[in-house]
Amino acid sequence: MIKTTMKMKLDETEAPDARLGWWGEARFGMFIHWGLYSNPAGLWNGCKIRHPYSEWLQASERIPRSVYQAQVASFNPVGFDADEWAGEAKAAGMRYLVITAKHHDGFALWPTRASRYNVMDATPFKRDILGELAEACRKADIKLGLYYSHWLDWEGTGGDICAVHMANEEYTHPSEEAFEHYWREKCLVQVRELLDHYDPWLLWFDTWSERPARYITSQRQEELIDLIRGRSNRCLINSRIEQLNPSSRVDFISTGDNEFPEEGFGQPWETSGTLNDSWAYHALDFDWKSVRQLLKNLIGNAANGGNYQLNVGPTGEGRFQPAASYRLRGMGNWLVVNGESIYGTTRSPLGKPAWGRITCRRLPDNRTRLYLHLWDFTPGTALWLEVAGVQPVSARVLETGQSVGFSGDGAGVWLRLPRELHGLELPVVALDVIGDL
């Protein structure tokens, strides 16, 4: 394990900006769903499971706890290489990585003292996955975050169930006393361990309906936040700690799965999305999104001031699928030449033109750099940008450095797009203007 670290509690009147600086700069991160469910890979008894998300196996098929938990005997991901995972995130242009430390099934990817239902005590693998990944991320300059299912927990220690899928004589909603026992003896204990042993940059909690409010009350939210703030001066907290009524002390908004809002929010926010349909590895999920679509998701969120956390579901052996690596590296290649238009940029005040999206960066001397992301355009034609009261001073194609002709008339800017743009994928023109937008 990583050496335990303890920190003083921050003055929360100043804490949000101090904590969030890196996150807004990063814009792009990796989500990883991986656990016992990765071996069955969306199949049970030879059939495709009913739920589209393979990590919901236990609930989808209403598998008895003893049967589901017996999978620990075969969880031996000999292909897992933390350095390779961090390297994939780095090559994709991602700045942080969030992994399912404990998903809804209750199985832990670290040697927790709160339950023997963990990778070290219950499986033949007997390695601290989080510890290895924390070290690999440190070496790769990738910030590590941890997903923790604080509401649903199907181990049988008092966490809630999802009645839509799994209510039966074995799976029932816990009493308040049972949930309180789970809260004290497992949830808070494990969150404390995650903070002390791995010092994460963020904790990603998960609720999405009205049901959690019965258990994740305002009092429990504040207790959990106090625990985090008291032990870490950097750990961010997302709004899905209780999605319908989150504490005012959360650091950023997490939208629903694969939700890309038309506009941003008045505070930091993100979308978590999938490469195909399932979050965890599903052997029969072939509905892959294109590199172009994934890049447009990233660009669209950045243009609205938001982050994009793109998920990967490694196989039961601990390897990334080739189709996943292909898409990640395609995005990374685009970011090598166009990353300036994403990292550290702000939302555009100019709306959403029909031809693409715009991100911004403030420069010295009252200058602003507008990054014009061209989605739907004709090379060699003129492009009109309606931005009054500014003076254009330079324009170039980010990928090639090619100059772009321009003129301004006070009501906006005309750009003469080069004919050579036809060979570029989602090209970006960097336009510098003087004046207030």
- Tell me if 87 is assigned to some domain: yes
**Across residues 39-49, what is the average pLDDT?**
98
- CATH number of the domain that residue 258 is part of: 3.20.20.80
Q: Based on the number of CB atoms within 10 Å of its own CB, is 242 exposed (0-12), middle (13-18) or buried (19 or more)? A: buried
- Tell me if 10 is assigned to some domain: no
Tell which of 316, 341, 366 closes a domain. Answer: 341
* CA atoms of 304 and 398, how far apart (whole Å): 21
- CATH number of the domain that residue 421 is part of: 2.60.40.1180
- Tell me if 4 is assigned to some domain: no
Q: State whether 248 and 182 are in the same domain.
A: yes
- Tell me if 289 is assigned to some domain: yes
Scanning the structure block, which residue is given the tokens 């009252």? Answer: 366
- Tell me if 3 is assigned to some domain: no
Q: State whether 318 and 360 are in the same domain.
A: no
Q: State whether 283 and 164 are in the same domain.
A: yes
* CA atoms of 381 and 416, how far apart (whole Å): 6
Model confidence pLDDT, tens digit, residues 360-400: 999 998 999 999 999 999 999 999 999 988 999 999 999 99
Q: From the CB of residue 425, how many other CB atoms can be counted at a distance below 10 Å?
A: 12
Q: Supply the mean pLDDT for the chain.
A: 94
Q: Which residue range is the domain that position 427 belongs to?
A: 348-434
Model confidence pLDDT, tens digit, residues 250-276: 999 999 999 999 999 989 999 999 999
- C-alpha to C-alpha distances, 200 to 97, 156, 225, 308, 376, nearest whole angstrom: 10, 27, 14, 19, 40
Strands 391-397 and 382-385: unpaired
pLDDT at residue 10 greater than cutoff 50: no
pLDDT at residue 8 greater than cutoff 70: no
- B/e letters for 336-358, b = 16+ CB within 10 Å, e = fewer, are ebbbbbbbebebbebeebebbbb
Model confidence pLDDT, tens digit, residues 304-343: 999 999 999 999 999 999 999 999 999 999 999 999 999 9
The whole-number pLDDT of residue 136 equals 98
The whole-number pLDDT of residue 13 equals 39
The whole-number pLDDT of residue 239 equals 98
Q: State whether 237 and 356 are in the same domain.
A: no
The whole-number pLDDT of residue 16 equals 67
Q: State whether 421 and 315 are in the same domain.
A: no
Beta bridge partners of 413: 385, 408
Model confidence pLDDT, tens digit, residues 49-99: 999 999 999 999 999 999 999 999 999 999 999 999 999 999 999 999 999
* CA atoms of 334 and 292, how far apart (whole Å): 10
**Across residues 105-110, what is the average pLDDT?**
98
Q: State whether 141 and 275 are in the same domain.
A: yes
Contact by Cβ (8 Å): 298, 94:
no
pLDDT at residue 39 greater than cutoff 70: yes
Tally of domains within the chain: 2
The whole-number pLDDT of residue 208 equals 95
The whole-number pLDDT of residue 343 equals 98
* CA atoms of 250 and 100, how far apart (whole Å): 20
pLDDT at residue 410 greater than cutoff 70: yes
- B/e letters for 81-120, b = 16+ CB within 10 Å, e = fewer, are ebebbbebbbbbbbbbbbbbbbbbbbbbbbbbebbebbbb
The whole-number pLDDT of residue 174 equals 97
Tell which of 306, 321, 341 closes a domain. Answer: 341
**Percent of the residues in the chain that have a pLDDT greater than 70, as a whole number:** 96
- Tell me if 142 is assigned to some domain: yes
Q: State whether 20 and 138 are in the same domain.
A: yes
Tell which of 299, 317, 341 closes a domain. Answer: 341
pLDDT at residue 14 greater than cutoff 70: no
Least confident of 16-20, 77-81, 130-134: 16-20
**Across residues 296-303, what is the average pLDDT?**
98
Model confidence pLDDT, tens digit, residues 143-191: 999 999 999 999 999 999 999 899 899 999 999 999 999 999 999 999 9
Q: State whether 357 and 394 are in the same domain.
A: yes
Q: State whether 264 and 135 are in the same domain.
A: yes
Q: State whether 327 and 368 are in the same domain.
A: no
SS (H, E, C) the chain: CCCCCCCCCCCCCCHHHHHHHHHHHHCEEEEECCCHHHCCCCEECCEECCCCCHHHHHHHCCCCHHHHHHHHHHCCCCCCCHHHHHHHHHHCCCCEEEEEEECCCCCECCCCCCCCCEHHHHCCCCCCHHHHHHHHHHHHCCEEEEEECCCECCCCCCCECCHHHHCCCCCCCCCHHHHHHHHHHHHHHHHHHHHHHHCCCEEECCCCCCHHHHCCCHHHHHHHHHHHHHHCCCCEEEHHHCCCCCCCCCCEEECCCCCCCCCCCCCCEEEEEECCCCCCCCCCCCCCCCHHHHHHHHHHHHHCCEEEEEEECCCCCCCCCHHHHHHHHHHHHHHHHHHHHCCCCEECCCCCCCCEEEEEEEECCCEEEEEEEECCCCCCCEEEECCCCCEEEEEEECCCCCECEEEECCCCEEEECCHHHHHCCCCEEEEEEECCC
The whole-number pLDDT of residue 167 equals 86
CA angle 302–269–98, rounded 5-degree value: 95
Q: State whether 122 and 213 are in the same domain.
A: yes
- Tell me if 5 is assigned to some domain: no
Q: State whether 176 and 203 are in the same domain.
A: yes
- Tell me if 264 is assigned to some domain: yes
